A and B are shown apart, each in its own frame.
Chain A
Amino acid sequence: MAVLTADAPAVRRRRRSVRRVPPVLLLFVLVPVAVEGFWVFWPALQGFYLSLTNWDGVSAPEFVGLGNYAEMLSDDIFRTAALDTIIWIVLFGGISAAGGLGLALLLNRERRGVGFYRAALFTPVVFSLVATSLIWQVIYQPDGVVNKLLAAVGLGSWQHAWLADPQTALYAVLIPALWRQLGYVMVLYLAGLKGIDPALYEAAKLDGATSVQQFRHITWPQLRSVNSVVLSVIIIDSLRSFDVVWSMTKGGPYHSSELLSTYMYSTAFQSLRLGYASALAVVIFVLAFGVIVTYLVRAFREDQ
């Protein structure tokens, strides 16, 4: 957030007193930068280049310009994956943001039992997405709990092979992802709520503000910076979402739960079309780019 003007001279004074740079610091910076450069930035550049080639991973890459991107236009699986990714961002993102905020508001006040409730909602965050997806596969099995419950309440006709039906696979995968994400977003919002000055609420209460008004005029505006963090985290997380889909359906059946990330992975490492896969990765990058830039601009401003 913006640096208060009162702090500015102090900051400047401190900066001025910083000593000269000892040579050993060169190593302190260069080694980590080199590691990241070699294993992240250099491969990223290669990824962009490879997206302009056809490559099977063995013979030399063949330069095809924008051919891979042109191919996407007529690739039905790509279209499904792109659409599913958008659905995923909207549902996964929207529900976990709104739900996380709701949970944080519900569990914000310190009262008896609140620690237990928070811990319960938070527990799945600790599990890997693969473990999460196995847990939910047990639930979704044809003879599993969901179908048993449906039968028990007389909705036997709704029973389903949830993960094997193209109509339901994507949503069946979404629920475990949300189960795990909601607690995380709740933590972010709880941290944000804790940062709001209680005096604001007291003043509002004296003025006779209702809780809805307090939320609208105090809580929500004060959560602005948290909202932007949550938004970035969610979009980046949804574009990265891979584990849960891969371990539950591998994108199937018939690509019905295919996300860009799973399609990219199977194109690269199963179909061995490394050039086309790289182009898919570039599409994911372009989708994430806006978030990355916003995030950096925000970090940069705070830094000043």
Chain B
Amino acid sequence: MTTTRPTPARPAERPAPARRSRRRQARTFGFHLAAGGLAVLWLLPILLVLTTSVRSFSDIASNGLGALPGSFDLGSFGEAWGVGGGGHAMLNSVVVTIPTVFLSLLLAAAAAFALSRYRIPFRRTIILVMLSGNLLPPQILLVPVSKLAELLGIYDTLTALVIVQVGFGLGFYTFVLQGFMRSIPDELQQAALIDGAGTVQIFWRIILPMTRPALAALGALAFTWTFNDLLWSITVLRTETVMPVTPALLGLQGQYVSNWNVIAAGSVIAAVPTVLVFLRFQKHFISGLAIGAIK
């Protein structure tokens, strides 16, 4: 089922010139067959993890992971949340993610505002250099960043993680936001200026509110990226008690080697916040992902 993914029969491109409605019916049927089959294939792994997480350990041990569930037991969630440290890790993740999203968007918006609405010398070069920082493979930064954090005495603290995440994300957010802010008509700003608004006021009261759609899209994206991060966390953090959800999940795996119900419950817990953000900001989230493509 997984290794040899069946290529779905695409609806025939040009059916024989039969009666039109029948042809259309066949096409619709073929479409739902193909798309529905794929959708089921895509959702099955998720369903499987959900069922694994509610099975009891003895059920899995005696019948095997691949067997149909023969028990219903929510104890694994309690285990993953409490003893497994999921609750604590979730708190760490929140403590990292919220300031990271807020700070990176604020700083990026400020830079984008200045670079898109004023004649800053070399503004285009600055934007592109900032963007290129985000395109760098993070591997080249890992060793120096961990040493830098040690040097500043913030190694193994959530502060370090927030700062690193903000620094690495800034380029992309600035790039997207300046593109968006450039399309805001100048007359609004002129009017505000005539009414005596200062630069900061124009930024805060005029431009920022008008950038809301882009901020929502980037905010949703930044939330999932930060929340799901593994590489930066394991680079600047060492102690288990400060680990956010993603690295904690890995720890859970080591701790509960064959307790697949607890591990499954842990991954379900870890997915809940991003799924919630996705459901809430679905439209923005998807348009955010597509930002690069439609420019």
Contact = CB atoms under 8 A, between A and B. Distances in A.
B126 to A, nearest CB: 7
Pairs of residues from A and B, 6 with the lowest C-beta to C-beta distance, nearest first: A39-B167, A148-B66, A128-B228, A191-B290, A43-B144, A120-B39
B293 A127 contact: no
A31 B110 contact: yes
Contact of B140 (A1, A44, A269, A291): A44
B2 interface: yes
A135 B144 contact: no
B133 A36 contact: yes
A192 interface: yes
A140 B66 CA distance: 9
A47 B140 CA distance: 6
Interface stretch (A72-80, A86-94, A182-190, A198-206): A182-190
Interface of B: 1-3, 10, 13-14, 28, 31-32, 34-36, 38-40, 42-43, 45-46, 48-49, 52, 64-67, 107-108, 110-111, 113-115, 117-120, 124, 126-128, 130-148, 163-164, 166-168, 170-171, 174-175, 186, 190, 193, 198-200, 203, 224, 227-231, 234-235, 245-247, 249-250, 253, 260, 263-264, 266-267, 270-271, 274-275, 278, 286-287, 289-290, 292-295
A126 B278 CA distance: 7
Given A31-B107, A128-B270, A242-B231, 10 more contacts: A22-B198, A127-B274, A128-B227, A129-B228, A134-B267, A136-B45, A144-B66, A172-B3, A211-B14, A269-B235
A10 B274 CA distance: 42
A130 B246 contact: yes
Contacts of B127: 303
A190 to B, nearest CB: 7
A8 interface: no
B91 to A, nearest CB: 17
Contacts of B2: 136, 139-140, 145-146, 175
A247 interface: yes
Interface string A160-201: 001000000001100100010001100111111011000000
A282 B144 CA distance: 13
What's the dominant secondary structure at chain A's contact region? helix
B65 A145 contact: yes
Interface in A1-36: 1, 14-15, 17-22, 24-25, 27-29, 31-33, 35-36
A236 B131 CA distance: 14
Contacts of A32: 107-108, 110-111, 130, 170, 174
Interface centre among A29, A242, A292 (most CB of B within 10 A): A29
A175 B3 contact: yes
A271 to B, nearest CB: 12
Contact of A236 (B14, B135, B190, B275): B135
A50 B144 contact: yes
A295 B136 CA distance: 12
A188 B289 contact: yes
A59 interface: no
Given A43-B145, A288-B135, A299-B128, A131 B249 contact: yes
Interface in A48-66: 48, 50, 57
Interface residues of A, number: 119
Nearest to B287: A191
B147 A264 contact: no
A15 B127 CA distance: 17
Given A32-B130, A136-B45, A143-B65, A130 B230 contact: yes
A264 B139 contact: yes
A280 interface: yes
Interface in A226-277: 226, 229-230, 233, 236, 239-240, 242-243, 246-247, 260-261, 264-265, 268-269, 274, 277
B166 A35 contact: yes
Contacts of B126: 29, 33
A246 to B, nearest CB: 7
B253 A43 contact: no
Contacts of B175: 299
Given A134-B266, A144-B66, A281-B142, A240 B137 contact: yes
Nearest to A261: B139
A121 to B, nearest CB: 5
Contacts of A175: 2-3
Nearest to B52: A138
A302 interface: yes
Nearest to B106: A32
Contact of B35 (A24, A114, A264, A285): A114
A219 interface: no
